[in-house]
Structures are given as C-alpha cells and as structure tokens.
Amino acid sequence: MNGVAASPGAGAGSVFILHERTVPLGRTGPSSPSDGDAAERVHLRKSAESELERFRRGVDVAAAYYRGLVERVRESVGNEEAEIFEGHLEILGGEDVAEYVAEAVLEKEAIAERAVVDFAEETAKEFEALESEYFRQRAGDIRDIGRRLAEAIYYGSIADPTDLPESSVVVAEELTPSATARLDTSRVVAIATEKGGRTSHAAILARSLSIPCVTGVVGLLAAVRGGQTVLVDGDAGTVSTDVDTAVLEDVRVRSARQREEAEAQIRWSREHPAQLRDGTPVHLAANVSGADEARLAAQVGAHGSGLLRSEFIFMRYSDFPTVEQQTNEYRAVCEALAPHPVVVRLLDCGADKPLPYARQAPEDNPFLGERGIRYLRNREVQLKAQVEAIDRVAREGHDIRLMIPMVVSREEIDVVRTYLDGSNLPVGIMVETPASVLTLKRLSDRVDFVSIGTNDLVQYTLAVDRGNAAVSDLYRELHPAVIAAIDQVVEDAHNAGIHVGVCGDMASHAASALALLALGVDELSASTSAIPDIKAALARVDKNALTSLGAALRAAATADESRSAANALALVKE
C-alpha cells in the first residue's frame, strides 16, 4: 500500500491498532408495564439484575486498570501524580456511584453505561460549581472516570496505548496528539496512518523520535489486523503486509545500521557548535513537548527551545493543570536546557490538537475555528493561569519566554499583556496567518520577538489542508508566495529591531533550513532528531553562499509559478 513518506527508515513489527472506542449510551427496556402485566415486570427485573451485574464486572475491570496505572505512574513519574489515580480508584469503589447506578437501572430502566456516564457528568457539574479551585480542577477527572468505566462495562476491557507490546507498529486512522501523549514510544518500531501528510502530528512525532512513518495510506485499517506482521518503509512511503523472513532480516540489519549511524551523528552533534563553514554561529534550538524531550535535545547540542508545545503537557493531564503543576513542568524544561532560552507557546488546542476535557463544540472548519489565542480569550481562567505559571518561572531567574499562537490583531497581544503588569517576561507571537504577515509592522511594537510557524503559514497561504493526503502534492514550502511571505516577515521584523525565528517543519530539514537562513531568519528551532543533520549541512556552506542562495530564491519566486517552486528546491539542494 502506498502513502506519504513522512519519516525515514524502515520498521517491521506487530500491528497495534490505536483508536478511541465509542460506547453506545442508549437506554434499554420498553415503557413501564401496566400493573397487570406480570410477565413484563419479571422480564424488566431480570434485565435490571443483568445490568447491575454488568456494572459490577465493569467496576472490577476498571479498578484493575487503575491499579496498574497507579504503579506505572509511581515508577515513571512520581508519588504525587500516582495519588491522582488512587483517588480514581476510591471513586470507583465508593457507594455514591453504586447507589446512583442502581437507582437509574431499577427506576429509569437505564443501561449501565448510560448510568455511569450520567453520574460522572452530574458529579462533575457539582464540582465545577464549588468555590474551591482544587475541586473545580477535578471535574475533568470525574468525566474521564465515567468514560473509562463505561468502556470497561461495554467492552470488558480498557484500551490502553501505554500497554504496547514490544516492536509494535502503531496503526491508526489519524494519530492525535492526545493519543501520542499516552504512547510508550520506546516500544514503537513504526507508525502508519490512513490520514495525514508530512506535517501531520503523527509525522512530526515520528521524525522527532526517529521512528519510520507513512501517512495517508488509503484503506489501511481495512487491510490489516491486530497482531499481524507488517513492514513500514518511511523512505519509499509504503506499508507491506506480505513480508517474508528474508525481508524482515534485511530490515533488522538496515535498522541496526541506521541506529549506529544516528548514534555517531548524535555524538558528533553534541561536540560541535552550530556554525557555518567560515565560523559564523547559527542559533539552533529544538522543538520540544516536555522535560524528557528537552533532555534529549540538550544531549544533541540544541541551544534551548524555540518552541515548547505546551498543549502536549496539558494532554498528559485529565483536566487543566493548575498553576503549580504548570510551573513545575516549565521549570523542568528550563533546567534541562539551561543556560539557553525556552520559548513556551501558549496552549494551542483545537483543530488537529483537541483536548479531551476542553469540551469544544465540533466545528465545520476547525483549522479556521476556535484555536490558539482565540480559545484562550474565551477561557480567561486558563489564560491567566498559564501566563502566571510562565511568569513565575521567569521570576525564579530562568530564561523563559512566552509566545502567542494564531495572532491576527493587536488586541490579542494586549489581552495577554494584561496579565503581565510589572513583569519583564519577553512576549512574542507566532507568525502563521496571512494577517500577521501583512500587519507585522503594526504588531511589532507590541512584541519582543516573532517566530514563523511554517506549517500553518504554508497551509493558510496556499489554502491547502496539510493533513489531507489528497492535496499533499499542493503543499509546497518553497512556493513563491511562501518565499515572499517569509521574506516580508524578516524585513519588517528587522526594521523594527526584533528577532525572527522559525519553529515550523521547514526548520527541521537541512535543505529548507538553509533556505530560511538565506532569507535572513535569525534562529532555527527544529525537531531534536534533525539537529545533527542540520549542523552537518551548516558546516558545508559559508555566509557568502547563503547570501547568493537568498538572492536566487527571491528571483525564483518571481518567475513562472509552475516552475519556481521546483527551481527554488533545486537551488537549495545544489
């Protein structure tokens, strides 16, 4: 099967199909029988007894799941986080849920799944109405318990992506950030998805961890089954189900050789600075999703982080993390990358990065909907909490900066600055919309730096859904309109005296990274796994070569559109 080659390398293993299980929540039983209908009353009583037995079995399954989760979290994260799931266990075994379910089943003829979800929703709303911030934060936990218990009742098990077998090939319709946050990636040898392109989150995750990945494989889920051995070739963009032992051995040898080469590259990268052949330094940072990835970035010689994706931190929690929890998370990232700076992007949920507990309504065009600063402006409590947490870390003496996503107006910057009265915390914006490109001159006096988010900038400039494999060939990072947009951002920002970085996918590929430097950007923030390749590419060119390349790219962008993108790419590779 053919798809989009999203992350290089080849991996063979057993299929692990990752999907969110849906649980039917209808009600069972006819209307209440008449007093004289004894047979119907007997039937309903037996039905109710059956539902209560299903509920009890589900509680046993869910309790076993949470006991295992407590132990894993205690070993891998710590006691404080494990206590959260111990609290979930107490709720499952409590009298409140049992009494509510019994009443709903016996008096309202509810099925067990509906009863537990209704209990969770009513209890969560009661928590949200309390004055205590602690209990309001627990509302999401309650809803999650209801979902997990309903799943245990209906399926007799709880799907847990943390329970991956060794050498798993993760297969999904689409790999969401919330799902990836729960994956034990040390057990993943490859990823394949039905939807998505080179800049989908599955692809970005795979490249950051050097996991082979193919996206946009039409008919993938219908063609494979759990436990089946498949081969994912991230170089050729193929997924093969008919794999003989000779091919598997070849993949094993090839993968071992690639690991050895990667380890040698990492050692070289750690020992050498990011600089051009003539010694000109280049600020090369890493895009990270938390402290673990920040430590890996430090090991390959990254100079800080130009993009801490805070939404991935949020996805590890069952409800919005508190100010204290966020402060601890951001501090850990800063400590891992010290003394270099860390840029925290404010929560950018929505579109292809939904938060399970955010309760956002479905949108017809989510990429054009309530996401980034648009979401936070409507959630004042969450915006204030995140800004306060970042500012706390800054006041401790760490080099941390705040970045606002999806900006299209000055008002969006001013809303954030409202919570920073008296603070010297540097504030920047993501330039990822045509509006922010065209109005940067008017925005620049409100910010200390800008960072170009090329993934969305290309998508919005070309009107191409970057997650749609059907139009992936139209997603061209060196399209003349994109070159012109980046060129204009650099010129306007430098005229205003502010720093320009790039944290999009273009910064994570050697060829396009050189193109960005040639167009005058001051900083690259790339995926951790790409840093050794980029350092090696930098060492092969000098400042004069980049100046010539920049002039050639601008000239190519003004040529015939049908040839200019290809010409620009050829220039960069040359």
- For residue 204, the domain's CATH number is 3.50.30.10
Query: Both 351 and 381 in a single domain?
Result: yes
More confident residue, 309 or 570: 309
Query: Both 337 and 318 in a single domain?
Result: yes
**Alpha-carbon distance values, 179 to 48, 145, 543 (Å):** 35, 17, 43
Query: Both 422 and 315 in a single domain?
Result: yes
Residue 373 has pLDDT above 60, yes or no: yes
- In this structure, is residue 120 part of a structural domain? yes
Whole-angstrom Cα distance, residue 21 to residue 159?
8
Query: Both 437 and 542 in a single domain?
Result: yes
Catalytic member of 201, 303, 398, 479 = 201
Query: Both 242 and 107 in a single domain?
Result: no
- Band the pLDDT of 449: cuts 50, 70, 90: very high
More confident residue, 129 or 397: 397
- In this structure, is residue 271 part of a structural domain? no
Average pLDDT of the segment spanning 198-213: 78
Contact by Cβ (8 Å): 525, 302: no
> Domain total for the chain?
3
Buried b (16+ CB within 10 A) or exposed e, 259-268: eeeeeebbee
- Catalytic (active site) residue 334: no
- In this structure, is residue 396 part of a structural domain? yes
Residue 29 has pLDDT above 50, yes or no: no
Among the candidates 140, 155, 170, a domain finishes at 155
Burial tier of 34 (Cβ tally within 10 Å: 0-12, 13-18, 19+): exposed
Query: Both 385 and 484 in a single domain?
Result: yes
Among the candidates 135, 155, 175, a domain finishes at 155
Query: Both 167 and 221 in a single domain?
Result: yes
Residues sharing a CB contact under 8 Å with residue 82, sequence separation 6 or more, in sequence order: 70, 71, 73, 74
Query: Both 145 and 167 in a single domain?
Result: no
Whole-angstrom Cα distance, residue 202 to residue 204?
6
Q: At what angle do helices 561-573 and 510-518 cross, to 10 degrees?
A: 100
The β-bridge partners of 17 are: 171
Query: Both 140 and 181 in a single domain?
Result: no
- In this structure, is residue 270 part of a structural domain? no
**Alpha-carbon distance values, 430 to 307, 398, 437, 450, 492 (Å):** 10, 22, 10, 6, 14
pLDDT value at residue 519 = 96
Whole-angstrom Cα distance, residue 340 to residue 284?
11
Whole-angstrom Cα distance, residue 404 to residue 122?
35
- In this structure, is residue 33 part of a structural domain? no
Residue 362 has pLDDT above 80, yes or no: no
Buried b (16+ CB within 10 A) or exposed e, 511-538: bbbbbbbbbbbbbbbbbbbbbbbbbebb
- In this structure, is residue 265 part of a structural domain? no
Rg (CA), the chain: 26
Q: Which phi and psi angles does 73 have, rounded to 5°?
A: -70, -40
pLDDT value at residue 41 = 47
* Among the listed residues 429, 458, 433, the one whose alpha carbon sits nearest the alpha carbon of residue 445: 429
Among the candidates 103, 133, 155, a domain finishes at 155
- In this structure, is residue 346 part of a structural domain? yes
- In this structure, is residue 28 part of a structural domain? no
* Among the listed residues 465, 414, 416, 460, the one whose alpha carbon sits nearest the alpha carbon of residue 438: 460
Query: Both 506 and 435 in a single domain?
Result: yes
What length is written for the chain?
A: 574
Residue 325 has pLDDT above 90, yes or no: yes
Catalytic member of 213, 334, 349, 503 = 503
Q: What is the CATH number of the domain that holds 134?
A: 1.10.274.10
The one-character DSSP state at 419 is: G
Query: Both 96 and 238 in a single domain?
Result: no
Q: What is the CATH number of the domain that holds 540?
A: 3.20.20.60
Whole-angstrom Cα distance, residue 70 to residue 264?
38
Residue 572 has pLDDT above 70, yes or no: no
Average pLDDT of the segment spanning 169-182: 73
Residue 255 belongs to domain spanning: 4-19+161-260
Contact by Cβ (8 Å): 344, 352: no
pLDDT value at residue 377 = 93
Range from 47-61, 167-181, 233-247, 294-308 that averages highest in pLDDT? 294-308
Query: Both 143 and 174 in a single domain?
Result: no
Whole-angstrom Cα distance, residue 294 to residue 287?
8
pLDDT in tens, 90-148: 888 888 899 999 999 988 888 999 999 999 989 888 887 877 655 666 777 788 788 88
pLDDT value at residue 33 = 37
Contact by Cβ (8 Å): 66, 144: no
